[in-house]
Every structure is written in C-alpha cells, then in structure tokens.
C-alpha cells in the first residue's frame, strides 16, 4: 500500500487490524522502539546515553523472525505483519523478497502488508525485486465525497482546501492551514521522498519546478518556457525527469498532448496539473474569498480539481492527456483501449463555446464528449464517480 503523505494509509491499516480475527504485529520504521541503554564506555557522555534502535536490514529480519514465531504459535489462525514507512530502510525490497520466499517454501500462514509514503521508491522496489509476489493498493488524495463526509467541507471549500485530511482541521485559520500544507506536507514530500532517496543533481531546480507547476496549474507550458522561468534550469530532459518524479510523488503531473502517434505525445508541451488543489492555492497567496473573487484564477482551480480527480481515480489502463490544435482545445482526454472520452470544464470564467469537442471528434474520430460544470454535469456529481465511470455510461 503506497501513496502521498497524510492520505490515511496508516489509519486504514490500523482500522482493518481492529476488525480481523487474526493476530497482528504493526511496525513503523519512523517510530522509535524503547531506547537502548549504552554503557558509559560506549557513550560520549559520562553517564548512560539513550539511542534509538537503528532501522536497517538487520532490524527488519529480527522483527520478521518475531512475527514468524508468533505465526507458528497459532498456525490455524494465521498472522498479519504490517511494516509502515518501509522505504526508509536501504535495500528493503531484496530483504523482503528473501524472507517472503522462505515463508512460502515453509507454507507459513503469515500475511504481510507494507506501507510507504514514497510512491516512487515503493514502485521501484516492488518492480525490481518483488515481481509477481505482491498486490498494490494505491492510496490517493481524498475525494470531495470523502472530505465532505469526514469534515463537512462544501464544494467551494473542497476546491480551495483540497483533499488533505490532516490539513482539514486548520481550514478556519488560513495562515496555519497554508503553513501546514507547505511545511508539513510539501517539504517532507520533496526532501524525504524524492531528494533524499533519488539521484537528484539539482535539488533546487526540482523545488522551483514544483513551485512553478503549482502556480501554472491548468495551463500548457513548454519546457523551453519553463527554462525561461527557472534560473538554474539545466535542459529539457532534466525538467521532464523531475516532472515525472513529482507526478509519482503525488504532487504535480505534466499531462501530454493527445495524438495518434506516440512520438508526438512524447515531444509535446505538458499541461501542468497539481494532484491536490491545496498545493495550488497554498502557494498562490490568495485567501479563500480572494481566490473565489478572481474568476480567472478560480477557473484554473476548478479545472485543476477536475484533472486531479481524473488522475487520482484512474485505473492503470486509463491514460489522461489534453488536446489542442490552433485555437481549439479540449481540457482533458481519457483513453482506455480504443475508447476516448473528451472532457471540457466550464467554471463560468471561460468562453462559453465548446467547439473544441466537435473539432476533436472531427479530427481524431469517435469519442464520447463530456461537459463538466456550468451547463453540464455538476461538479459534485462528477466528483462522486471515478474516471472509469465515463467509459461505461452512455
């Protein structure tokens, strides 16, 4: 199970453990065990020192062995081992592979759940060492229905404050909310989940790219224009890689242009889209009321929220893009096999014409067209169903 920070992974697992009959052991790599006392001869101080236990492969094996013993004590009931934030242990996936294979050879009835808040590293570790041995459960940003049900946010509040459950308690204090999003969520997401665990030659560039993408969310921006905005910009290949890392971390996506030829998609300018509108509004400097008053900005918030919902709720067989040709544009294009769904978002601040949908169908063939927002599917209804819904409904 993996997903961005503060999206409820630990809460989900803890609640599940309370409802099952099997005994379990929950381990968090981030939480210290009881401190280990060092004798004075091994301490820098004159008295004893308290040091947290080192979390490495040795620690992982030792705790796994503990779970094995507890499983063996009740073989008829099974046992569940949960390891949270496992990506912080170097080379964790190779160790898990060996331990898991040994358990399967012994037919040990132990279930293992691993959680991580670095989707990039989790996917990398799983695919490199654990192929064929796992089922992924992605946990994405919270939807409008979830935020409304849990925190009573209305639609406009959800559009502005986004889908971070941990930040919801601060929505009545805008300064505290903004500080929480940027310092407690964005900074550790970038520093701990990308920079510290991935080879990043230009970490400052990565941070500036996120800030630029959040500011320009809902807009198409060529890599050359990005270079013009960023002062230590490297080359377009570096920017494309960093944008991909930000996407996998659940922060910012660069949607490609829809085209029949894959090479044209790869060479296209990306459409920037935050994956949680809190990321866009927090860096904007706008208060909630000021954001709503600026109809151009609010229109981009609405469009970005639609894009984030499609991206976060799409299954692995759905591709999300945009389309533009001359003055004609379609905000989002979803493709699932041969089926296409072309989506235009209307917030009241954009031109009333939807000619882009008609031109898209004429140029690229049959597609289902969908108008979301003013004059079309209401936003609250659109947010209530996942992306795949629009491929099954006529």
Listed range (38-47, 155-164, 267-276, 323-332) with the worst mean pLDDT:
38-47
Residue 139 lies in a domain: no
Domain boundary among 78, 98, 129: 129
Residue 94, domain CATH = 3.40.50
What dihedral do alpha carbons 7, 9, 10, 16 form, nearest 10°?
Answer: 130
DSSP 8-state code for residue 142 = P
Rounded Cα–Cα distance for residues 386 and 170 (Å): 28
Q: Is the pLDDT at 272 greater than 50, yes or no?
A: yes
Rounded Cα–Cα distance for residues 162 and 391 (Å): 26
* Residue owning tokens 């090479």: 263
Domains held by the chain: number: 2
Residue 80 lies in a domain: yes
Answer yes or no: do 166 and 249 share one domain: yes
Rounded Cα–Cα distance for residues 5 and 248 (Å): 12
Listed range (121-125, 159-163, 220-224) with the worst mean pLDDT:
121-125
What is the pLDDT averaged over residues 48-68? 75
| Whole-number pLDDT of residue 123 | 56
Answer yes or no: do 181 and 74 share one domain: no
Residue 138 lies in a domain: no
Answer yes or no: do 208 and 350 share one domain: yes
Cβ-Cβ contacts under 8 Å for 107 (sequence gap 6 or more): none
For residue 373, list its beta bridge partners. Answer: 346
Answer yes or no: do 307 and 225 share one domain: yes
Residue 248 lies in a domain: yes
Domain boundary among 106, 129, 152: 129
Boundaries of domain holding 76:
9-129
Task: Report CA Rg, the chain.
Answer: 23
Residue 3 lies in a domain: no
What is the pLDDT averaged over residues 321-346? 94
Answer yes or no: do 118 and 265 share one domain: no
What is the pLDDT averaged over residues 145-149? 95
Answer yes or no: do 51 and 194 share one domain: no
Please give the angle made by the CA atoms of 272, 331 and 143, to the nearest 5 degrees. 70
What is the pLDDT averaged over residues 326-346? 94
Answer yes or no: do 219 and 297 share one domain: yes
Answer yes or no: do 152 and 282 share one domain: yes
Query: Predicted confidence band at 373 (pLDDT cuts at 50, 70, 90)?
Result: very high
Quick: pLDDT tens for 184-239. Answer: 999 988 887 788 777 888 999 999 999 999 999 999 999 989 988 887 666 889 99
Q: Is the pLDDT at 41 greater than 80, yes or no?
A: no
Answer yes or no: do 125 and 194 share one domain: no
């Amino acid at each position: 199970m993996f997903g961005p920070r503060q999206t409820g992974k630990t809460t989900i697992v803890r609640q599940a453990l309370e409802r099952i009959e099997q005994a379990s052991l929950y381990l968090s790599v981030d939480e210290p065990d009881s401190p280990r006392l060092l004798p004075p001869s091994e301490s820098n101080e004159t008295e004893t020192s308290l040091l947290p236990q080192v979390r490495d492969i040795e620690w992982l094996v030792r705790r796994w062995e503990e779970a094995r013993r507890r499983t063996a004590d009740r073989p008829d009931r099974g046992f569940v081992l949960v390891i949270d934030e496992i990506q912080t242990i170097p080379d964790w996936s190779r160790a898990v592979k060996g331990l898991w294979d040994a358990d399967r050879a012994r037919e040990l009835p132990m279930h293992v759940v691993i959680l991580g808040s670095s989707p990039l590293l989790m996917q990398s570790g799983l695919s490199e060492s654990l192929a064929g041995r796992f089922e992924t459960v992605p946990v994405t940003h919270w939807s409008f229905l979830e935020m409304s049900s849990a925190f009573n946010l209305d639609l406009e509040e959800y559009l502005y404050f986004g889908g971070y459950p941990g930040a919801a308690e601060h929505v009545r204090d805008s300064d505290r909310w903004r500080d929480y999003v940027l310092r407690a969520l964005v900074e550790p997401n970038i520093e701990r989940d990308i920079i510290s665990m991935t080879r990043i030659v230009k970490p400052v560039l990565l941070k500036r790219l996120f800030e630029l993408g959040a500011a320009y969310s809902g807009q198409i921006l060529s890599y050359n224009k990005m270079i013009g905005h960023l002062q230590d910009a490297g080359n377009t290949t570096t920017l494309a890689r960093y944008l991909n890392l930000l996407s996998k971390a659940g922060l910012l996506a660069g949607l490609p242009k829809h085209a029949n030829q894959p090479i044209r998609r790869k060479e296209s300018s990306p459409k920037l889209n935050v994956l949680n509108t809190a990321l866009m509004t927090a860096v904007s400097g706008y208060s909630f009321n000021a954001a709503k008053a600026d109809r151009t900005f609010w229109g981009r918030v609405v469009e970005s929220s639609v894009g984030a919902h499609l991206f976060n709720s799409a299954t692995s067989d759905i591709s999300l893009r945009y389309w533009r040709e001359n003055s004609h544009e379609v905000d989002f294009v979803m493709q699932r096999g041969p089926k296409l769904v072309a989506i235009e978002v209307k917030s009241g601040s954009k031109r009333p014409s939807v000619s882009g949908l008609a031109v898209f169908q004429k140029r690229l063939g049959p597609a289902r067209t969908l108008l979301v927002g003013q004059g079309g599917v209401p936003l609250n209804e659109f947010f209530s169903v996942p992306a795949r819904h629009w491929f099954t409904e006529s």
